[in-house]
């Protein structure tokens, strides 16, 4: 584990403090720049307001000149009215001289028309002049708008800079944004008012032009023209007064707006001063915090040293616990081996097949350890009853799960480095294959072979957390007519080319057969299903799907513990024997007869082996059959063996059942290996590993002290189990010592 770098932490803290100081100094500089920009914007705004005032005064002067021009027009209209009255009087006085007077009147009218045309032309020139002045006013307004846009842009820029400096005062900025928006709305409203006024002026000008054109068209009707001119003059006079009032109102509004902008500037200036004060306080607090952090470095240094010491102590404790876990695992294996040996190297379980017949001849005792067979003698003779005791008896109602629970600990021994053999024996149709294989499609009815493989795989995965690494491979063969066939190789026939080899390492192999890796429970299940479908079965009078061969599933297990250097080598042999049967009862003929003879011969050889072991003969005939030669390491005392004797409880099968029970009793009396116990295949690269294996109860490479401890452990374990009054271990051993034949 990497140490705690206090110096690096201190440098990071100082760097963070310096960076904070630089940020505060930059914030002060930005604040000063913002104040200068605000003052500059205030000066620009004052200049813009002064320009607006000058433009308003110019517009007021233009309005006054416009009023004077209207008065002049009124005077001209009055003169025209007087002339018209004089002309009418002259017409009444000189009616007689109508012709000459008419010409004079026409001449006078022509002269008046020309004079009016001149007057109208002068007025038109005056209107053009007014238009020019209006356009100048519009240009001034555009300049004012440009100034206002510049002021608005400056205000927006000031707002952005203020926003960068015042992130922690969002509420104040929001208020400022709202006030600024209100000011912009006011400015836009003023601009809209000026635009409206300009449109009104244009509309008035258009109306005035239209009226002038009407007057020119109606020059022949002087009276009507005079009335229209008077009305137009009155309208113009009213428009002038209205324009003057509007301009005065605009001037007052502009002055009010100027006052509001001035107040807003003062408020913004006050906010800037408050912000400066807050930044100064934050800078002082940051400096104080930096001093505090520097003062805390000593405490952090002390804490880091303390934590490092605790870490070293914790690491030492972890190493100690790992060592204890290895020792505990070795002790567990030793105790487990002692328990299995106290139960007997060869254990025999009996299982009675369910039946629907009412003539059952087999009864299972309530203690689950004995069975009685009633054999009818025929006629008036009394029936004979034979009783047998075994390590465990399963009645017809026993489930596959209950059966496997009893053999699961023996399966565990293969994972601990022992050679384990489990085989089923019985007549045809007694349920051997159901016990060993079962129905793999249903979880509840799976047999011992698929359950055992699944348990080994799951246990190896659990032990991986303790540092164990397992490599598992499997072979599946059948012995048919004393020939070996590979069930995992598609299309493989029975041949003598497969030979059985016992290696110097204590491993039994069949040459030329396939060994497939077993990496998961699903892979193992698929392997078992494939082999089961390739097995040789035929129909007989006793069983429609009778197994005509012995099948042996061999699982090779190698466990390695890198930390301790230990290496375990175990093997699990699961054997489903072909059915023992009387040739006459099975009705075998031809090829079936040859198969039955081969089966009975190999089973007879198995019985001879157990007979020789029971008599402790120096020579045991393992080589008399390929079945016994293949199982020699397990039957010779170096391994652990369990036999299942399967019984058909129906009365017609009583003779075969009795033979099976007698054979099982013979096997149950065998003590393998001269009582020295099973041999554990373990090698160790460490002294502790050798001691652990020596204490494992008969393990290979163990010391004499380990064997003495094993014997002492067996004796103590036997006493405890005898005191407990039974169980699957010492209780069964006690029963075997006190067993009587009935």
Annotated binding site: 426-433
Coil, helix or strand for 384?
strand
Instruction: Report how far apart, in Å, the C-alpha atoms of 179 and of each of 150, 252, 261, 561, 666 are.
Output: 18, 21, 10, 78, 109
For helices 222-343 and 170-217, the axis angle rounded to 10 degrees is 150
* Binding site per annotation, positions for ATP: 426-433
Contact 247, 84 (CB under 8 A): no
Q: How far apart are the first and last CA of the chain?
A: 71
Give me 4's structure tokens.
């705690």
Give me 507's structure tokens.
């491993």
Classify strands 500-502 and 508-510 as parallel, antiparallel or unpaired: antiparallel
Give the sign of the dihedral formed by CA 716, CA 722, CA 725, CA 731. Answer: positive
- How does DSSP assign 162-184, residue by residue? HHHH-GGGHHHHHHHHHHHHHHH
Task: For residue 711, give every residue at least 6 positions away whose Cβ sits within 8 Å of its Cβ, in sequence order, or none.
Answer: none
Burial 79-97 (b: 16+ CB within 10 A, else e): ebeeeeeeeeeeeeeeeee
Instruction: Report how far apart, in Å, the C-alpha atoms of 89 and of each of 96, 101, 161, 177, 338 are.
Output: 14, 12, 84, 77, 161
Dihedral class, residue 675 (left if φ above 0, else alpha if ψ from -120 to 50, else beta): left
Contact 144, 51 (CB under 8 A): yes
Task: For residue 601, give every residue at least 6 positions away whose Cβ sits within 8 Å of its Cβ, in sequence order, or none.
Answer: 482, 625
In degrees rounded to 5, what are phi and psi of residue 719?
Answer: -65, -45
HSE-CB at 583 with a 13 A cutoff on CA atoms is: 14
**C-alpha dihedral (188, 191, 192, 196), degrees to nearest 10:** 170
HSE-CB at 158 with a 13 A cutoff on CA atoms is: 24
């Amino acid at each position: 584990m990497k140490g705690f770098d206090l110096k690096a932490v201190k440098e990071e803290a100082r760097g963070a403090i310096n960076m904070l100081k630089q940020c505060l100094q930059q914030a002060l500089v930005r604040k000063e720049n913002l104040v200068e920009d605000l003052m500059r914007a205030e000066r620009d705004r004052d200049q813009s307001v002064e320009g607006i005032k000058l433009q308003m005064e110019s517009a007021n002067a233009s309005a006054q000149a416009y009023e004077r021009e209207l008065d002049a027009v009124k005077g001209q209209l009055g003169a025209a009215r007087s002339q018209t009255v004089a002309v009418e009087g002259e017409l009444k006085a000189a009616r007689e001289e109508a012709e000459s007077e008419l010409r004079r009147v026409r001449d006078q009218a022509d002269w008046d028309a020309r004079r009016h045309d001149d007057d109208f032309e002068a007025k038109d020139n005056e209107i053009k002049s007014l238009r020019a002045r209006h356009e100048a006013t519009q240009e001034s307004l555009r300049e004012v708008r440009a100034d206002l846009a510049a002021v608005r842009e400056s205000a927006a820029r000031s707002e952005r800079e203020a926003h960068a400096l015042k992130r922690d005062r969002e509420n104040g900025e929001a208020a400022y944004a709202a006030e600024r928006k209100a000011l912009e709305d006011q400015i836009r409203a003023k601009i809209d008012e000026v635009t409206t006024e300009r449109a009104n002026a244009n509309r008035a000008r258009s109306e005035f032009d239209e009226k002038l054109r009407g007057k020119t068209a109606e020059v022949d009707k002087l009276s009507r023209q005079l009335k229209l001119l008077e009305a137009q003059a009155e309208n113009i006079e009213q428009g002038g007064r209205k324009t003057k009032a509007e301009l005065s109102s605009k001037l007052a509004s502009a002055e009010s707006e100027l006052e509001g902008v001035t107040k807003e500037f003062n408020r913004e200036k006050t906010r800037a001063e408050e912000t400066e004060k807050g930044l100064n306080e934050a800078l002082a607090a940051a400096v104080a915090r930096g001093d505090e952090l520097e003062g805390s470095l000593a405490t952090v240094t002390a804490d880091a040293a303390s934590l490092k010491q605790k870490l070293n102590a914790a690491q030492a404790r972890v190493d100690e616990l790992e060592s204890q876990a290895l020792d505990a695992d070795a002790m567990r294996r030793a105790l487990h081996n002692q328990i299995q040996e106290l139960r007997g190297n060869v254990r025999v379980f009996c299982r009675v097949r369910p039946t629907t017949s009412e003539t059952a001849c087999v009864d299972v005792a309530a203690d689950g350890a004995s069975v009685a067979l009633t054999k009818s003698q025929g006629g008036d003779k009394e029936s004979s009853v034979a009783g047998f005791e075994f390590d465990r008896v399963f009645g017809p109602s026993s489930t596959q799960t209950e059966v496997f629970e009893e053999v699961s600990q023996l399966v565990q021994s293969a994972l601990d480095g022992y050679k384990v053999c489990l085989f089923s024996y019985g007549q045809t149709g007694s349920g051997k294959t159901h016990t060993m294989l079962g129905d793999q499609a249903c979880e509840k009815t799976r047999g011992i072979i698929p359950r055992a493989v699944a348990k080994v795989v799951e246990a190896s995965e659990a032990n991986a957390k303790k540092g164990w690494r397992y490599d598992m491979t499997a072979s599946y063969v059948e012995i048919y007519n004393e020939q070996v066939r590979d069930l995992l190789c598609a299309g493989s026939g029975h041949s003598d080319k497969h030979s059985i080899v016992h290696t110097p390492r204590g491993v039994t192999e069949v040459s030329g057969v396939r060994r497939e890796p077993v990496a998961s429970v699903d892979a193992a299940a698929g392997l078992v299903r494939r082999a089961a479908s390739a097995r040789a079965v035929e129909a007989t009078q006793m069983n429609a799907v009778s197994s005509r061969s012995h099948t042996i599933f061999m699982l090779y297990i190698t466990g390695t513990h890198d930390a301790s250097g230990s290496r375990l080598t175990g093997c699990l042999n699961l054997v489903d024997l072909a059915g023992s049967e009387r040739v006459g009862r099975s009705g075998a003929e031809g090829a079936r007869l040859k198969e039955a003879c081969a089966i009975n011969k190999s089973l007879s050889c198995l019985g001879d082996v157990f007979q020789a072991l029971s008599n402790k003969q120096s020579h045991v005939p393992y080589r008399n059959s390929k079945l016994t030669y293949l199982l020699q390491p397990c039957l010779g005392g170096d391994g652990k063996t369990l036999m299942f004797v399967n019984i058909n409880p129906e009365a017609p099968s009583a003779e075969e059942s009795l033979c099976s029970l007698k054979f099982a009793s013979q096997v149950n009396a065998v003590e393998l290996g001269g009582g020295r116990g099973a041999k554990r295949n373990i090698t160790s690269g460490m002294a502790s590993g050798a001691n652990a294996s020596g204490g494992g109860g008969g393990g290979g490479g163990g010391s004499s002290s380990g064997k003495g401890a094993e014997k002492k452990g067996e004796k103590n374990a036997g006493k405890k189990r005898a005191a407990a009054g039974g169980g699957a271990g010492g209780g069964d051993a006690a029963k075997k010592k006190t067993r009587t034949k009935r």
